[in-house]
Amino acid sequence: MTKSDIIKEYLLNNNEHFSTSDNQAYYIANTKKQFENNRNPFSLKGMNIAYTDSQIKSLKSKSMIWEQYRQKYIQCV
């Protein structure tokens, strides 16, 4: 299973369905980029996008889900 497959499986397992809005496209691209760096893909640090409070809460929630998933399924070297 490749890293890309793991990302796809993670998104599907967590019911992440995205439209093609710019923010969501950036979100997916950032997820893949951060995954390659073995970092939390949902970190808001360094993102040059203005999020609403509800979007920030959503991203923080996803961050917690990601950490649980990463620790369970991804072996960090």
pLDDT digits (tens, 9 = 90+) for 18-52: 444 555 656 666 666 655 555 544 554 544 445 55
Round to whole Å and give the CA distance between 42 and 59: 6
Q: Give me the chain's average pLDDT, please.
A: 60
Number of domains in the chain: 1
The percent of residues above 90 in pLDDT, for the chain, comes to 0
Q: Which domain holds residue 47?
A: 3-73
**Which of 5 and 22 is assigned the larger pLDDT?**
5
pLDDT at 65: 67
